[in-house]
Amino acid sequence: MSDSNISSVRTRFAPSPTGLLHVGGIRTALFAWLLARQQGGQFILRIEDTDQKREMQGADQHLMDSLRALGLDYDEGPDIGGPCGPYRQSDRLERYQEWARQLIDAGRAYADPYSPEELQAFREQAQKEKRPFLFRDHRPENPPAWDGSKPLRFKSEPKAYSWTDAVMGKLSTGPEVVDDFILIKSDGYPTYNFAHICDDADMKISHVIRGQEFISSVPNYLNLYEALGLEPPVLATMPHILAGEGNKKLSKRDGAKDVLDYIREGYLPEALVNFIASMGWNDGTEQEIFSRDELIAKFSLDRIQKSGARFDERRLLWMNGSYVRELPLEDLYAKTINTGMAVEPNAAPQAGSYWPEAAADASVEYRMHVLELVQERLKYLAELPELTMFFFEDLPVDPELISGHKQLKKLEPTEIKELLQRSRDSLAESDFSIDDLTQRLNGLLEATGQKPAVLFSLIRIATTQSPASPGLAETMHLLGKDRSLQRIDNQLAAL
């Protein structure tokens, strides 16, 4: 690595506020962020809101919230400012006019005199003749002066290009793909094709990291860079992330959850970041779990996969569970009482708890004990209620738990009742310490000659009304003697 210009790395995430940010989009942001952090550079958020029609109310806030929720902090952006602002394209309209003027003066831009209908006719004609449509075939001889009422087009100089993409490697195209694209629309807003190049130059962006849908436009961009006398930044093109089914690009339509959905469900930012990074990137070793700092240290553009990756939520679930288990109990507890949704730049995360409602009156100490017992089976925080409800309230007796149990359903009702009664009698004499409970439970096993899967399931069902629970002795110990026995009595009464 040549370190002469190490601090000049500036990357950006430049979404359009037209929808919610899903995992595909956030990966682009993550890689740009990782590169900036690794190189000691800056990561910039720029909102590309040049299409008023498609704009979605609140989307830009959602974008910023999503980045913050994942800990992808940006150094410059619309809400925090910076030396190259404004960071919202709709606030930079005059700047695009200046760039456009430069092109007009150089004879490299002209007003498009055609009506939409005429343009459409050209396209249909080309299609009929089975040849690709190129606007420059219809370039007017003496275009009118541009007064803003017509689109402003780039006057391209078609040629073959070959360039190196930091991810895809060597790429090349012929001159036939370079055309006179629109720089400024008749509504006065620039197109993406024009605006992003002006902004990247103004904001001194060193690396452009974006999805592969832009790859076929790159020759046009290269042509424009030349016309503007700009040195192109490093281009890094990411393959798409595909939805779980089929081969379509991941999008909201496929039921893809947005990033904040995952945060709300109690997926940990660290796990999400690790998982998203591992889709299409690895360090060449067999390591699967990377801390944020490790990712920053080890990340490199040239180890990004060239082919698309499929989003596999099961793998995310596993990874998140792995992070949950590794968390110190106090840290995990802190996360369970707070949904982690920071909205303002420096706001405390939103209050909001993952605990079941019935836990509201329980002491912190008791909840910590509960959490300790379920930590190893908790995959994401929103699972907490179904895993812990019975620690906080008496659930109604559910006959299905016995009738649907693969061992218990084979026993006669009288046998079940007798078994439970014997258990109750023995447990009634326990001091409910974990040791004593363990001993008694094992003693019952011997005395009744039953398999653990039968006897313990029965006691578990009676005391929890749940199909699964943490260790039986630990669970009953935490519930306490009175509550445990009462629940067994309730079960007996219902049998």
**Collapsed DSSP state (helix, strand, coil) of residue 81:** strand
Q: Which two tokens stand for residue 325?
A: 């288990």
Q: Which residues neighbour 364 within 8 Å (Cβ) at sequence distance 6 or greater? A: 333
CA–centroid distance for 211 within its chain = 15
Among residues 192, 202, 228, 337, the one that binds RNA under rule CB under 7 A: 192
Q: Which of residues 230-289 bind RNA (CB under 7 A)?
A: 239-240, 242, 246-249, 278-280, 282, 284, 286, 288
Q: Which of residues 391-420 bind RNA (CB under 7 A)?
A: none
CA–centroid distance for 294 within its chain = 19
Only one of the segments 90-98, 179-187, 389-397, 408-416 lies at the binding site for RNA (rule: CB under 7 A); that segment is: 179-187
Residue number with CB closer to RNA (232 or 471): 471
Please give the size of the binding site for RNA, defined by CB under 7 A.
88
- Active-site option among 159, 252, 409, 451: 252
Q: How far is 400 from 398, CA to CA, in rounded Å?
A: 5
In whole angstroms, how close is the CB of 10 to RNA at the nearest point? 18
Among residues 106, 447, 468, 494, the one that binds RNA under rule CB under 7 A: 468
Residue number with CB closer to RNA (157 or 344): 157
Only one of the segments 36-44, 165-173, 264-272, 392-400 lies at the binding site for RNA (rule: CB under 7 A); that segment is: 165-173
The contact pattern for RNA, residues 307-336, with x = CB under 7 A and - = no contact, is xxxx-x-xx-xx--xx--x-----------
Q: Which of residues 37-66 bind RNA (CB under 7 A)?
A: 48, 50-51, 53-54
Q: Which residues neighbour 391 within 8 Å (Cβ) at sequence distance 6 or greater? A: 359, 362, 366, 370, 475, 478, 479
Q: Is residue 377 at the binding interface for RNA, with CB under 7 A as the rule?
A: yes
Which phi and psi angles does 223 have, rounded to 5°?
-65, -40
Residue number with CB closer to RNA (438 or 448): 438
Residue number with CB closer to RNA (341 or 369): 369
In whole angstroms, how close is the CB of 324 to RNA at the nearest point? 10
Q: Is residue 438 at the binding interface for RNA, with CB under 7 A as the rule?
A: yes
Only one of the segments 66-74, 200-208, 210-218, 291-299 lies at the binding site for RNA (rule: CB under 7 A); that segment is: 210-218
Q: Which two tokens stand for residue 267?
A: 């997926």
Among residues 24, 151, 233, 340, the one that binds RNA under rule CB under 7 A: 151
Residue number with CB closer to RNA (82 or 471): 471
Q: Which amino acid is at 217?
A: S
In whole angstroms, how close is the CB of 5 to RNA at the nearest point? 28
Which one-letter DSSP state was computed for residue 239?
P
Q: Is residue 425 at the binding interface for RNA, with CB under 7 A as the rule?
A: no
Q: Is residue 489 at the binding interface for RNA, with CB under 7 A as the rule?
A: no
Which one-letter DSSP state was computed for residue 157?
-
For residues 99 and 198, is the Cβ–Cβ distance under 8 A? yes
Only one of the segments 223-231, 300-308, 421-429, 486-494 lies at the binding site for RNA (rule: CB under 7 A); that segment is: 300-308
Among residues 9, 29, 420, 472, the one that binds RNA under rule CB under 7 A: 472
Among residues 12, 13, 14, 271, the one that binds RNA under rule CB under 7 A: 14
In whole angstroms, how close is the CB of 346 to RNA at the nearest point? 28
Only one of the segments 14-22, 66-74, 79-87, 334-342 lies at the binding site for RNA (rule: CB under 7 A); that segment is: 14-22
Q: Is residue 301 at the binding interface for RNA, with CB under 7 A as the rule?
A: no
207 - beta bridge partners?
Answer: 11, 234
Question: CA gyration radius for the chain?
Answer: 31
For residues 48 and 89, is the Cβ–Cβ distance under 8 A? yes
Q: Is residue 305 at the binding interface for RNA, with CB under 7 A as the rule?
A: yes
Examine the residue annotation and report whether 252 is marked as an active-site residue of this protein: yes
DSSP codes, 244-296: SSTTPBP-GGGTPPBHHHHHHTT--HHHHHHHHHHSSB--SSS-----HHHHH
DSSP codes, 298-359: H--GGGB-SS-EE--HHHHHHHHHHHHHHS-HHHHHHHHTB-----STTPPPPB---S-GGG
Among residues 156, 450, 457, 463, the one that binds RNA under rule CB under 7 A: 457
Q: Is residue 159 at the binding interface for RNA, with CB under 7 A as the rule?
A: no
In whole angstroms, how close is the CB of 268 to RNA at the nearest point? 15
Only one of the segments 176-184, 258-266, 358-366, 480-488 lies at the binding site for RNA (rule: CB under 7 A); that segment is: 176-184
Which one-letter DSSP state was computed for residue 45?
E
**Collapsed DSSP state (helix, strand, coil) of residue 485:** helix
Which phi and psi angles does 459 have, rounded to 5°?
-65, -40
In whole angstroms, how close is the CB of 446 to RNA at the nearest point? 10
**Collapsed DSSP state (helix, strand, coil) of residue 238:** strand
Residue number with CB closer to RNA (310 or 483): 310
281 - beta bridge partners?
Answer: 304
For residues 108 and 146, is the Cβ–Cβ distance under 8 A? no
Which phi and psi angles does 206 have, rounded to 5°?
-95, -30
Q: Which two tokens stand for residue 273?
A: 């970041």
Residue number with CB closer to RNA (214 or 366): 214
Q: Which of residues 350-369 bind RNA (CB under 7 A)?
A: none
Q: How far is 88 from 293, CA to CA, in rounded Å?
A: 30
Count of C-beta atoms within a 10 Å radius of residue 380:
20
Q: Which of residues 74-113 bind RNA (CB under 7 A)?
A: 112
In whole angstroms, how close is the CB of 4 to RNA at the nearest point? 27
152 - beta bridge partners?
Answer: 111, 184
In whole angstroms, how close is the CB of 150 to RNA at the nearest point? 6
What is the set of active-site residues?
252
